[in-house]
Structure 1
Amino acid sequence: MPHSDSPTRITVISASMGAGHDGAATELTRHLTATGFLVDRHDFLDLLPARVGKLLSGAYLRLLTWAPAGYQRLYAATEHERRPNPAVRALLRGAERRTLATVTPDTRAVVSTYPGASQVLGALRLRGRLAIPALTYLTDFSVHSLWVAPGIDAHLAAHAIPAAQAHEQGAAGVTVTGPMTDPRFTPADEDERRAARTRFGLPPDTPLALLVAGSWGVGPVREAAAEILGTGVALPVVVCGRNHALAERLRADGIAHVHGWVDDMPGLMHACDVLVQNAGGLTSLEALAGGLPVVSYRCIPGHGQTNAAALDEAGLAPWIREPDQLAPTLTELLHGPRGRAQREAGLALFTAVPGPVPAVKAMARGPLSATTIPPRRRPVAARPAVALDVSGLPTGAPADALAGVPSDALRSVPVEALHLPVAARFAARSRQARRRTVLMVAAVAATLSLGIGAPLAYAYGESPGHHFGALTHYLEDDDR
């Protein structure tokens, strides 16, 4: 064990799948470094064998862009699966050696902000190959089953709703820690608002709706921009990320204020009055930290829709499902009490709990163990009561880990109180074998036709098709 005066080293593993996972990892790294930790950052896509990470990222983008309905089916087919399919398990096993290599002898904990990395870390913990705690920081407001990996010591959530969903999926050490964002995302006063509008060339007095679609600019953005403009309630200001073609099309559509990649997002949010988003990721949290009301509209499939449902249920962002609700909802958020209430709720999200650093600190300074015991997956009715420690420290953390934490911050929320409608929908569902077979065949055809190949075909059945046997064998043997 390192000397007590030595800085504690922590490994953070993210993935460059869009910007959300990396953004969370960046803020976690900044917060940990500010409190005296040494942090090593790694991209999980670089740890996958045979440069499959680049293929996987491209496959994800192609599905979202070319076949959103296919991605919706993929997501729904795997949303409540107990474990990844054999094909994806073989793929992840190929990353184990490189993942272990990121953990130096003086590392005291590993934190994942990407579900694939969590699956690898959990497997290593279960087999005793990783002797330090492994934690997952949930970057989404909804929890897909791939986020929950047996062997992970703690799952850290931004809010009670994703915490309850993770618990329903059998996650260990579920802890409500609150979110993290860049400290530049703060509410703007009138002078800052006026200066930001001048800087971005925006009209000084017109209500502005900031429309975002992630770093890749995916989803029906053109339709959303036209519909916001058509309401007459607000002028759309669109951020297209790295999608230059989308920016050109929007300008051709007559949208006056279109941006590509924006380095000063805090400033642009200061200039605007409401955020319209379609994925429920990091940008939504940044807007809430900046005091902007948030609305979900024309959401992308899969996590975009489940995140929208969770944010709506939390009272943090209404999910507009029909175009005729866009104008009245924007009006309420811009000019009515609903907007003020949502601003207050969003800001409170960042002050109620201290963030994930205390939880990571508690794990990193606790005793080492070669293995962990994962929770048994049982029906919710049979599961004993579990407490979620909303102070940011896992229940049962070592006593010395609590030093410096205010006593009034140590409080627990019974998990039964968090069984809200979204979480309740995570009850086990049976599926007909014939439907699964048809879905698998359709997925194989779709992924091959899109040039995606095997990495995403795991979603469609209990075992990979014979077309993927050679790849599975290769990935299992790679890097051994």
Structure 2
Amino acid sequence: MPERHDPLPGPLPSPSTAPALGAAPRRVVVISASVGAGHDGAAAALVDRLTAHGVPVDRCDFLDLLPARTGRLLCGGYHRLLTWAPEGYQRLYRATEQAARPGAVWRALFRGAEGRTLAALPPDTCAVVSTYPGASQVLGALRQRGLLTVPALTYLTDFSVHALWVAPGVDAHMAVHAVPAAQAHVQGAAAVTVVGPVTDPRFTPATDGQRLAARARFGLPGQAPLALLVAGSWGVGPVRRAAAEIRETQAAVPVVVCGRNQALVEQLRRDGAEYVFGWVDDMPGLMHACDVLVQNAGGLTSLEAFAAGLPVASYRCIPGHGRTNAQALEEAGLAAWIRTRENLAPTLTDLLRGPRGRAQRAAGIALHRSAPGPVPVIAARTGIRPASPAVSPTVRRRSRLRFALSAAATAATLALGVAAPLAHAYAEAPARFIAVAHCLDGDRR
């Protein structure tokens, strides 16, 4: 990951001035937030994509841009609310879910971050991309008042779009799928485009040999079906209850990842859970070892599981975004939302061995192959000319063709305002998008 540069003084460049042919690309700044790991994970993958195309990138943590350490206090309060009073968080989420604008307290807090946000942008900044709703609100306000003179873009990391994600003034919104794209469009988001997810390229479907090797490496059973149970980096929600209920179904053996919640690790081991992990650095390897993912928040781990070819189930979801994401994932046909304990065993069985599991595996893999990614949108907005990654000449030619077509389509989408129809078309006939992606990849099957 590129090092973060110290803020430099000076005016920001005009976004209308494209670099001369052959000139060094200008800089993109990505603003995330270390609230859990999902926003940071998406930002890291986005930085990797841009860097691979030769675009200089800086990355900032929005919590550090809030005044008087309020960012850390806000994060800590959110964590405690989810842990100790989850239904209180549900009420707060509902109260703000359909709000036309942030409340007075939120507006004051975001206003306090504006100066630091501008100071964090180097003078060669050509665009700012947010992967966190609060950062999007600040960038939109700065754009509306003319204080930010380069494009501001939002990358929607969730499948459900809370009102705070949509900020007036933001130039474009990038969505991972047609479902969140449609939600954002209904809420008035500007230039909504389906770009697909960005995840670590190590998340790929496992071969039989990789699966057996991964199981041996993690000390897992060689033959039993394994359900990977995750609860985010904080390990929040009724994880112990979900683990016990999965074990009681006898449909799969639970493999539980508790993130940084070491107390949960110890509790599960006292409960008799056999396969429990804290923070796991090699999540691609652990997904290779398992057969189905059970999650409760619908965030980045679900997108990673889709890339790894795992069917996904939402169960015992946390309040707020956990439940709205579960509903949106189900609507997209990407994950089963198990609402009752009675449906747990039959749904797991269907996902492991039935047609529903096969359909979800195919849909999850297709999600990662059927959209151009965020780089063409950023290029269309800024005029930068991303370089092709270092690959073979044949692959480079295909990559250039694919990128040129993606950039042209993105530019037309942004110029003509056809993002919502494209999102609808993707939802109605995703196979056509998949076929085009395979063709551009050189897959003629």
TM class by shorter-chain length? 0.7 to 0.9
> Is 1:174–1:394's contact at 8 Å kept on the other side of the alignment?
no
1:110 alignment partner in structure 2: 128
Question: What SS does structure 2 have at the residue aligned with 1:70?
Answer: helix
Whole-Å Cα distance in 2 between the matches of residues 417 and 363 of structure 1? 23
| Matched residue type, 1:352 | S
Question: What SS does structure 2 have at the residue aligned with 1:353?
Answer: coil
> Is 2:166–2:189's contact at 8 Å kept on the other side of the alignment?
yes
Whole-Å Cα distance in 1 between the matches of residues 231 and 241 of structure 2? 12
Whole-Å Cα distance in 1 between the matches of residues 423 and 229 of structure 2? 36
> Is 1:14–1:21's contact at 8 Å kept on the other side of the alignment?
yes
Aligned: 1:173 with 2:191: yes
Question: What SS does structure 1 have at the residue aligned with 2:126?
Answer: strand
| Matched residue type, 1:90 | A
Whole-Å Cα distance in 2 between the matches of residues 118 and 311 of structure 1? 23
Aligned: 1:152 with 2:159: no
Whole-Å Cα distance in 1 between the matches of residues 305 and 140 of structure 2? 33
Match runs of 1:299-310 below 5 Å: 299-310=317-328
1:414 alignment partner in structure 2: 421
Question: What SS does structure 2 have at the residue aligned with 1:350?
Answer: helix
| Matched residue type, 1:79 | E
1:219 alignment partner in structure 2: 237
Whole-Å Cα distance in 1 between the matches of residues 123 and 139 of structure 2? 16
| Matched residue type, 1:393 | T
> Is 1:355–1:392's contact at 8 Å kept on the other side of the alignment?
no
Question: What SS does structure 2 have at the residue aligned with 1:111?
Answer: strand
Match of 1:340 among 351, 354, 358: 358
Match runs of 1:311-460 below 5 Å: 311-365=329-383, 393-395=410-412, 397=414, 414=421, 417=424
Aligned: 1:133 with 2:136: no
Render the CA deviation track for 1:75-125: whole Å, top value 9, x for unaligned: 011101000011110010000000001222211000000000000000000
**Long gaps (5+) in structure 2:** 1-16, 385-405, 428-445
Identify if the C-alpha distance between structure 1 residues 416 and 336 changes in structure 2 by more than 3 Å, giving closer, same or farther: closer
> Is 1:354–1:391's contact at 8 Å kept on the other side of the alignment?
no
2:80 alignment partner in structure 1: 62
Question: What SS does structure 1 have at the residue aligned with 2:222?
Answer: coil
Whole-Å Cα distance in 1 between the matches of residues 423 and 126 of structure 2? 33
Q: How far apart are 1:415 and its partner, in Å?
A: 6.7
Aligned: 1:283 with 2:301: yes
Identify if the C-alpha distance between structure 1 residues 390 and 141 changes in structure 2 by more than 3 Å, giving closer, same or farther: farther
Q: How far apart are 1:3 and its partner, in Å?
A: 3.8
Whole-Å Cα distance in 2 between the matches of residues 95 and 12 of structure 1? 15
> Is 1:161–1:310's contact at 8 Å kept on the other side of the alignment?
yes
Whole-Å Cα distance in 2 between the matches of residues 117 and 24 of structure 1? 14
1:232 alignment partner in structure 2: 250
| RMSD between superposed Cα atoms in Å | 1.9
Match of 2:227 among 206, 209, 227: 209
> Is 1:10–1:111's contact at 8 Å kept on the other side of the alignment?
yes
Render the CA deviation track for 1:362-396: whole Å, top value 9, x for unaligned: 11218xxxxxxxxxxxxxxxxxxxxxx99872545
Render the CA deviation track for 1:145-171: whole Å, top value 9, x for unaligned: 000000000000000000000011110
Identify if the C-alpha distance between structure 1 residues 391 and 158 changes in structure 2 by more than 3 Å, giving closer, same or farther: farther
> Is 1:177–1:391's contact at 8 Å kept on the other side of the alignment?
no
Render the CA deviation track for 1:391-420: whole Å, top value 9, x for unaligned: 872545579xxxxxxxxxxx9661794899
| Matched residue type, 1:243 | N
Question: What SS does structure 2 have at the residue aligned with 1:142?
Answer: coil
Aligned: 1:26 with 2:80: no
Question: What SS does structure 1 have at the residue aligned with 2:310?
Answer: coil
> Is 2:197–2:367's contact at 8 Å kept on the other side of the alignment?
yes
Whole-Å Cα distance in 2 between the matches of residues 191 and 260 of structure 1? 25
Q: How far apart are 1:14 and its partner, in Å?
A: 0.2
Question: What SS does structure 2 have at the residue aligned with 1:414?
Answer: helix
Whole-Å Cα distance in 1 between the matches of residues 408 and 237 of structure 2? 37
Identify if the C-alpha distance between structure 1 residues 119 and 295 changes in structure 2 by more than 3 Å, giving closer, same or farther: same
1:85 alignment partner in structure 2: 103
> Is 1:7–1:36's contact at 8 Å kept on the other side of the alignment?
yes
> Is 2:192–2:420's contact at 8 Å kept on the other side of the alignment?
no
> Is 1:354–1:392's contact at 8 Å kept on the other side of the alignment?
no
| Matched residue type, 1:228 | I
Whole-Å Cα distance in 2 between the matches of residues 206 and 392 of structure 1? 46
Question: What SS does structure 2 have at the residue aligned with 1:242?
Answer: coil
> Is 1:362–1:398's contact at 8 Å kept on the other side of the alignment?
no
Match runs of 1:175-190 below 5 Å: 175-190=193-208
| Matched residue type, 1:206 | A
Identify if the C-alpha distance between structure 1 residues 326 and 120 changes in structure 2 by more than 3 Å, giving closer, same or farther: same
> Is 1:357–1:392's contact at 8 Å kept on the other side of the alignment?
no
Whole-Å Cα distance in 1 between the matches of residues 320 and 407 of structure 2? 28
1:475 alignment partner in structure 2: none
Render the CA deviation track for 1:244-280: whole Å, top value 9, x for unaligned: 0000000000000000000000000000000000000
Whole-Å Cα distance in 2 between the matches of residues 213 and 289 of structure 1? 18
**Long gaps (5+) in structure 1:** 367-388, 400-410, 421-480
1:429 alignment partner in structure 2: none
> Is 1:390–1:412's contact at 8 Å kept on the other side of the alignment?
no
Whole-Å Cα distance in 1 between the matches of residues 129 and 245 of structure 2? 41
Aligned: 1:94 with 2:112: yes
Whole-Å Cα distance in 2 between the matches of residues 11 and 336 of structure 1? 44
Whole-Å Cα distance in 2 between the matches of residues 214 and 301 of structure 1? 14
Whole-Å Cα distance in 1 between the matches of residues 80 and 184 of structure 2? 28
Q: Normalised by the size of structure 1, how large is the TM-score? A: 0.78
Whole-Å Cα distance in 1 between the matches of residues 289 and 407 of structure 2? 33
| Matched residue type, 2:343 | Q
Whole-Å Cα distance in 2 between the matches of residues 33 and 331 of structure 1? 42
1:242 alignment partner in structure 2: 260
Percent of residue pairs bearing the same amino acid type: 69
Alignment: residue pair count: 387
Aligned: 1:164 with 2:182: yes
